[in-house]
Structure 1
Amino acid sequence: MMLCVIVLLCSLFTITQQTVPPAKCLCELSSSEKAFPFDKLKTVQDSASLCNKNITPEKTFDLESLLLGLDRRLPELEKDVEMLEKENDGELYGALSLHVIENELAEIKQLLDKLNSTALAHLDLSADATLQLVDVKGDMQELEEFDTMQVVKSQQANQRLKRDLDQCRNGLHPTPKPTLSPEGTCPHGRFLNISGPRVFTAGEYPGSYMYGAWGRDPKPEAGKESWHWLVLMTSSNRHSNYIRQYSSLSSLIAGVSVPGNVQIHPNNPTTNTIQGPNVVLYGGALYYNCYNTDAVCQFNLTTKSIIRLELPKGTRYNSKGNFCHLEECYPYTDLDLATDESGIWVIYTTTQNFGNLVLSKVKLDQQLKLSQTWYTSVYKQSVTNTFMACGILYATRYVDKTVEEIFYSFDTSTGKENFNIGIFINKMSPNILSLNYSPVDQMLHAYSDSKLVSYKLLFEKTHDTYTYMQ
């Protein structure tokens, strides 16, 4: 009887537990922080996209093309007028010459009208963009108030620390006292800016060779003053065994190489052939990184002889000290050869200098030597390319697919570095694989994803003429 009562009580307790509804828990979340203004962020993004859409390298290229056309036509007109003044017979010859000059003036007037309308359109675009950027800057400053974790401030602090670290590293390797005389200062004045593309061509082999280099010989042989050269990496984008020559810029653009190839060796690659795209031609000889070694080769195009220059112990080679940006590195760009008004330079890295750029002047003799070396505090793998102009080393970095920045300089006559050059190159293709400065005409020749592009360096003494033409 007692057992039955206990069982009944247990059953009753179980039924009671099942029928009682569970307790409900309600929570209220209150935040003292302001709601993030996503609509304002969207407005800023739209404004930035509109600026990128409206301001493109092609628009700058249009203006530069008009300026280049005017630059070439005015000297021709001047020559024709001088010829008319000297040889005018007052009859048929004079009438024909006047008719030619009249046509030239009409074409120049058309160019000027188009140039004026293009310049006015660019001024309106610049004014609109300036107003948009002011608004965007104000909106971004307001949005920074929502950065409660101070991410932006931390990034700015990191940038300051990096700059201080670069300056500290420079103290580890004091720059040798400059031995160059004051004539090392640039005869063209200070480097101020760079033009848009002056030459843009796919060349003789459109899209076939992604890596290469091209340019002019700063010290050409007699009769070859207008010649241009081209070196293509024909084996795995890394190696080459010949240089191709063209009798003029027009021949290069048209893809007509009358001189043809000058071969270093029948095999590619092999001992003393070319490794990497950073090559230069100077005084009828090609200078490049010798295959599979930390050395520079000089290949004489006339005698076909080769002289080697061994670089200091610890020099990085075989793709261990490349030019790079965040997305990729350019293979076998350990050594960069450069020319300027004073001769030939080699830019490289060593283990002793912690991967920072090292610059050496090449002394031309029966045996190649390094005459002087400078140590910089810019890290090689943060650089995409280098070139020399008037004894000053310039380094570039990748900004995006359409823009490259000349951000750094090292003056060999003073030993001073500048990390804030801020000169931008409008690219016609995402990657610039080599840069060669020509002191003959102050042009910068770029090999960009199989395309050949050139830019005019604007110096202090040439800038006045360029400004007047604008």
Structure 2
Amino acid sequence: MFFLLSLCIFGLLLRGDAQERASLWRGNDRSGQCQYTFTVPSPAEASCPQASAPEVEGLKARLSILEALVSQLSGKDTQSPGGQRGASVRGHSELQETLNRAVGERNLLQGEKERLEMELEGLRLRMEEMRRETERLRNRPCLPQNPVVPPSFPQRDRSPVRPAVGSNQMSHLMTRPNRQGDSSSLRDSAWQYGSQGFQELKADVTEVPAPDSHQDNTGCGTLVSVGDPVTHRKADSIAGKYGVWMQDPEAVSPYGPSMVWRIDTIGTDVRQLFGYDDMEQLSKGFPSKVLLLPDPLESTGATLYRGSLYYQRRLSRSLIRYDLAAEHVAARRELPHAGFHGQFPYSWGGYTDIDLSVDEKGLWAVYSTNKAQGAIVISQLDPQTLEVKKSWETNIRKASVANSFIICGKMYTVASYAAHNTVINYMFDTETSQGRAVSIPFKNRYGYNSMVDYSMAQRKLFAWDNFHLVTYDISLGRQQVN
């Protein structure tokens, strides 16, 4: 009991002394709650030992780091939301602009890639044709190199042997002078064997002049008969199953009248035009010129006239005149109301809605319109501007015939493209605007005739029959006198 009383008295004494030296501090802690802190000096120690100094310094260093982090976080938090949105919008805009630029460059590269692929395909086809031609030349047997032994002739009499006057019906040819009035050139200077009399006779016979080229022996008339087909070449690949081939009846430099042109029309992007120096080179399959048309061609209705290729642009009723010498488009015009891309084709199909041709009267187009309800319409075109000069509407449906061609202003239609023995069944005369049924035998030797056109250059029919390029001789009736 005494002990407890002594302890209380001692506590009161200490409390009174402590109150004189104690201090009270009040403040919020890190969580925001109010906290009271009492500080009482030590009664036994005048100062704290120095051993805790490193710990205090460490605490100060950590506090400095924390204060720096708080400052950084506080600086980021002070940015306004509007500024953040503005920066985000600017970044999005820049990304969109970069994306658009990349897409545009990709599209340009894609177009360039397609163009280069087309050129590569054209070069590949040309290389393949050259390779085949090289193989043909290698496999061709060489001509014998043995010298030709000239024939021997009897040498009984070296004096000139001349027939008696009036003894030979050809005697007038021996004394006839040439066009310059000199008869000495009638001797064949290359002839080295036999008597001079035989030499003169031979030279005179070979100098018989051809008919005058200025004489008009190409009179127009009505088609009477068509000969058997003559094959000149077979296409080498599937691209040549259908096609068109032609000659220019009024060729323009630098291409001569014997130049032959060919287009294979299988494919969605038909642009290649192959040129051959003559029919012999065509049969060998070695072109001397390859042109790349600026616009793709549709079907087998193209034709040549006065140095230009006339053709229908793919997927349109537009007609194009392509200048072969200048190698550019010279004229372009739509054929009014003409059907195209399968609206009014021939019976064999092939998007043959517009068929162009050339004859003694000029440039023609055979087609149909909605107004004509599928009946054949014939229009004469201006070769320079492609403008329609005059039109005729027939009473025969275009889809009911296999093909057509025009000779001397008269259109003829072929009944079937597949029957080996068919007929030319209809004729329409633009001079009289009258049509009538006919029956002229016609042969499709290879069973799929996709192109028939009149070639005024050779006065024959050109056709493309199931990979084969063929011609037909024709006979016309008596010449019309205008």
Q: Which of 314, 323, 326 in structure 2 is aligned with 1:291?
A: 314
**Number of residue-to-residue matches in the alignment:** 283
Instruction: Decide whether aligned partners of structure 1 residues 308 and 98 sit closer, same or farther in structure 2, where only a CA change above 3 A counts.
Output: farther
Deviation at 1:97, TM superposition (A): 12
Identity %, equivalent residues: 23
1:243 aligned counterpart, secondary structure: strand
The residue correspondences of 1:392-431 to structure 2 (distance < 5 A) are 392-398=410-416, 401-419=419-437, 421-431=438-448
2:321 matches 1:303: no
Once the two structures are superposed, what CA deviation does each residue of 1:339-370 show, in whole Å capped at 9, x if it has no partner? 111221011110001100000001123x3201
2:265 matches 1:248: no
Q: Which of 361, 375, 379 in structure 2 is aligned with 1:342?
A: 361
Residue in 1 that maps onto 2:457: 440
Given that residues 342 and 391 in structure 1 are in contact (C-alpha distance below 8 angstroms), is that contact kept between their aligned partners in structure 2?
Answer: yes
- Paired residue type of 2:334: E
Deviation at 1:213, TM superposition (A): 0.5
Separation in 2 of the partners of 1:318 and 1:249? 32
Deviation at 1:87, TM superposition (A): 1.4
2:267 matches 1:235: yes
Separation in 2 of the partners of 1:400 and 1:256? 29
- Paired residue type of 2:356: L
Once the two structures are superposed, what CA deviation does each residue of 1:263-299 show, in whole Å capped at 9, x if it has no partner? 113xxxxxx3201111111111111111211121111
Q: Which of 317, 320, 323 in structure 1 is aligned with 2:346?
A: 323
Separation in 1 of the partners of 2:197 and 2:221? 39
- CA-based RMSD of the aligned residues comes to 3.0
Deviation at 1:460, TM superposition (A): 2.8
1:368 aligned counterpart, secondary structure: coil
Deviation at 1:199, TM superposition (A): 3.5
Residue in 2 that maps onto 1:26: none
Unaligned runs of 5+ in 1: 1-80, 103-185, 266-271, 463-470
Q: Which has the larger radius of gyration?
A: 2
Given that residues 239 and 267 in structure 2 are in contact (C-alpha distance below 8 angstroms), is that contact kept between their aligned partners in structure 1?
Answer: no
- Paired residue type of 2:256: K
Residue in 1 that maps onto 2:11: none
1:351 aligned counterpart, secondary structure: coil
Separation in 1 of the partners of 2:228 and 2:447? 15
Deviation at 1:211, TM superposition (A): 1.3
Separation in 1 of the partners of 2:395 and 2:439? 18
Residue in 2 that maps onto 1:92: 192
Q: Which of 459, 462, 469 in structure 1 is aligned with 2:476?
A: 459
2:391 matches 1:373: yes
- Paired residue type of 1:244: F
Separation in 2 of the partners of 1:330 and 1:90? 58
Separation in 2 of the partners of 1:293 and 1:231? 19
2:290 aligned counterpart, secondary structure: strand
Separation in 2 of the partners of 1:96 and 1:443? 43
- Paired residue type of 1:246: Y
Deviation at 1:94, TM superposition (A): 5.9
Residue in 2 that maps onto 1:62: none
- Paired residue type of 2:466: D
Unaligned runs of 5+ in 2: 1-173, 179-183, 203-217
Once the two structures are superposed, what CA deviation does each residue of 1:402-452 show, in whole Å capped at 9, x if it has no partner? 123211111000111011x21122222111111121112211000111110
Residue in 2 that maps onto 1:190: 222
2:233 matches 1:209: no
Residue in 1 that maps onto 2:405: 387
Deviation at 1:398, TM superposition (A): 0.9
- Paired residue type of 1:231: I
The residue correspondences of 1:99-138 to structure 2 (distance < 5 A) are none
Separation in 2 of the partners of 1:211 and 1:217? 20
Given that residues 418 and 449 in structure 2 are in contact (C-alpha distance below 8 angstroms), is that contact kept between their aligned partners in structure 1?
Answer: no
Residue in 2 that maps onto 1:264: 293
Residue in 2 that maps onto 1:182: none
Instruction: Decide whether aligned partners of structure 1 residues 389 and 98 sit closer, same or farther in structure 2, where only a CA change above 3 A counts.
Output: farther
2:387 matches 1:363: no
Instruction: Decide whether aligned partners of structure 1 residues 96 and 418 sit closer, same or farther in structure 2, where only a CA change above 3 A counts.
Output: farther
Separation in 2 of the partners of 1:197 and 1:278? 20
Instruction: Decide whether aligned partners of structure 1 residues 90 and 199 sit closer, same or farther in structure 2, where only a CA change above 3 A counts.
Output: closer
1:189 aligned counterpart, secondary structure: coil
Separation in 1 of the partners of 2:377 and 2:423? 20
Given that residues 207 and 451 in structure 1 are in contact (C-alpha distance below 8 angstroms), is that contact kept between their aligned partners in structure 2?
Answer: no
- TM-score, normalising length: structure 1: 0.55
Instruction: Decide whether aligned partners of structure 1 residues 274 and 88 sit closer, same or farther in structure 2, where only a CA change above 3 A counts.
Output: closer
- Paired residue type of 2:392: W
1:376 aligned counterpart, secondary structure: strand
Given that residues 399 and 405 in structure 1 are in contact (C-alpha distance below 8 angstroms), is that contact kept between their aligned partners in structure 2?
Answer: no
Separation in 2 of the partners of 1:97 and 1:330? 66
The residue correspondences of 1:78-89 to structure 2 (distance < 5 A) are 86-87=186-187
Per chain length, whose mean CA-contact separation is higher, i.e. which structure has more relative contact order (CA < 8 Å, sep 6+)? Answer: 1
